[in-house]
């Protein structure tokens, strides 16, 4: 097992409780007693049993991007000891764009990432410009450039891995939630390199977002885009919905019905436009879910629906038994509407 690193912690009266995170094992909660100078394991965070041979390990990479700058990511290669991909094929790549957008991704065990790597996908977990953890200048480089530099990094990261011969350049995919969902839509409207995408509760119309979301989130754009309404023209330029005619590749959208941060109207706007434009698209609305899915059954259905969608539009059949998803403007939808 790899050496653990401290995650979050809580200070008690006589003890410090620390979550220790691992790259190839479950997180562990430990207690350090300051009076006795003793440490003990309280519990393993997740009791799910698994064979470590199925775990894809992160490889930190640095790649060139726009303006002569560099960006960071973690690359996970597909791993499954029970299966071997066709010798003549390279795996498809999923570029994962984190939310935030000034948050970051870490190379610890993620069941979401392992879901994809055990099914034959490589995953590029991007810490695009603006991500924290790489210095103040790197994080602030997204100020005024949200929807520009993060999108450049999504594209350049995918192309970098493809040019290294590690993945199939014709099967580059992109997925993300919230700010990451915005990045999915913005990337697919600005560049024509992704074969498909998955948008989880992303912002499709920045101006509508400012008017619909709660007061705290409505100020998020001030540094990242500019003050509204003074920069209204820039908001329009950065909004994916205003470039919808350039989005030609299939996209699935997944949304919580009770999302107060990015309301369902943002997802319905992009879904309706794609359906009208004849682009293969699907939309799943989950009742009782907000900004980020909490229920186990929702998360399972969302991941499987995304996998099913990729299978249909890329022409492969997942080994999993999955409830079908209606994909509009695609042969799989014939007779389902």
pLDDT per residue over 25-75, tens digit each? 667 777 778 878 777 776 666 666 667 888 999 999 999 999 999 999 999
Residues 19 and 61 in one domain: no
Rg (CA), the chain: 21
Q: What is the mean pLDDT of residues 193-215?
A: 89
Predicted TM-score of the model (pTM) = 0.89
CA angle 103, 108, 112 (to 5 degrees): 80
State which residues form the domain around 327. 52-333
pLDDT digits (tens, 9 = 90+) for 94-150: 999 999 899 999 998 888 999 999 999 999 999 999 999 999 999 999 999 999 999
Residues 262 and 128 in one domain: yes
Residues 26 and 107 in one domain: no
Q: What is the mean pLDDT of residues 155-165?
A: 98
Residues 73 and 191 in one domain: yes
| Ranges 25-29, 54-58, 171-175, 237-241: which has the least confidence | 25-29
Residues 38 and 121 in one domain: no
Residues 28 and 162 in one domain: no
Cα gap 315→193, rounded to integer Å = 18
- The alpha carbon dihedral of 144, 145, 146, 147 has a sign of positive
Closest CA relative to residue 322, chosen from 115, 125, 111: 115
**Confidence (pLDDT) at 7:** 63
The answer to whether 55 and 109 have CB atoms below 8 angstroms apart is yes
Residues 13 and 39 in one domain: yes
Residues 16 and 129 in one domain: no
Q: What's the chain's average pLDDT?
A: 90
- Structural domains in the chain (count): 2
The answer to whether 46 and 25 have CB atoms below 8 angstroms apart is no
Residues 222 and 271 in one domain: yes
Residues 177 and 128 in one domain: yes
Residues 16 and 149 in one domain: no
With bands split at pLDDT 50, 70 and 90, how would you rate the model's confidence at 190? very high
pLDDT > 60? residue 200 = yes
Other C-beta atoms lying within 10 Å of the C-beta of residue 254: 27
Those residues whose C-beta lies under 8 Å from the C-beta of residue 143, and which sit 6 or more positions away, are 223, 224
pLDDT digits (tens, 9 = 90+) for 272-309: 999 999 999 999 999 999 999 999 999 999 999 999 99
Residues 179 and 223 in one domain: yes
Those residues whose C-beta lies under 8 Å from the C-beta of residue 179, and which sit 6 or more positions away, are 97, 98, 99, 100, 101, 146, 150, 202, 203
Compute CA 186 distance to the chain's CA centroid, rounded to the nearest angstrom.
Answer: 14
- CATH number for the domain spanning 82: value is 3.40.50.1820
């Amino acid at each position: 097992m790899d050496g653990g690193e401290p995650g979050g912690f809580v200070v008690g009266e006589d003890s410090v409780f620390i979550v220790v995170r691992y790259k190839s094992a479950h997180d562990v909660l430990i207690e350090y007693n300051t009076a006795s100078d003793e440490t003990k394991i309280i519990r393993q965070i997740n009791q799910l049993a698994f064979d470590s041979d199925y775990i894809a390990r992160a490889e930190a990479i640095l790649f060139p991007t726009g303006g002569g700058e560099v960006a960071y990511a973690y690359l996970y290669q597909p791993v499954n000891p029970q299966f071997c991909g066709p010798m003549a094929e390279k795996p498809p790549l999923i570029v994962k764009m984190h939310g935030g957008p000034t948050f970051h991704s870490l190379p610890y065990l993620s069941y979401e990432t392992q879901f994809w790597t055990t099914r034959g996908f490589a995953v590029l977990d991007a810490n695009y410009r603006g991500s924290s953890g790489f210095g103040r200048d790197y994080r602030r480089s997204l100020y005024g450039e949200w929807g520009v530099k993060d999108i450049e990094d999504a594209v350049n990261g995918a192309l970098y891995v493809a040019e290294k011969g590690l993945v199939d350049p014709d099967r580059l995919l992109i997925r993300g939630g919230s700010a990451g969902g915005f990045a999915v839509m913005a990337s697919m409207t600005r560049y024509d390199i992704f074969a498909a995408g998955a948008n989880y509760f992303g912002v499709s119309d920045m101006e509508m977002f400012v008017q619909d979301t709660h007061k705290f989130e409505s100020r998020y754009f001030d540094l990242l885009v500019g003050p509204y309404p003074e920069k209204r023209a820039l908001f329009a330029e950065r909004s994916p919905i205003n470039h919808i005619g350039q989005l030609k590749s299939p996209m699935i959208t997944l949304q919580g019905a009770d999302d107060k941060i990015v309301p369902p109207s943002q997802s319905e706007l992009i879904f309706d436009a794609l359906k009208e434009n004849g682009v293969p698209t699907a939309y799943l609305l989950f009742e009782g879910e907000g900004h980020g899915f909490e229920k186990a059954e929702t998360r399972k259905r969302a991941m499987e629906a995304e996998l099913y969608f990729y299978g249909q539009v890329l022409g492969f059949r997942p080994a999993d038994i999955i409830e079908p998803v209606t994909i509009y403007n695609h042969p799989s939808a014939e007779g389902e509407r």
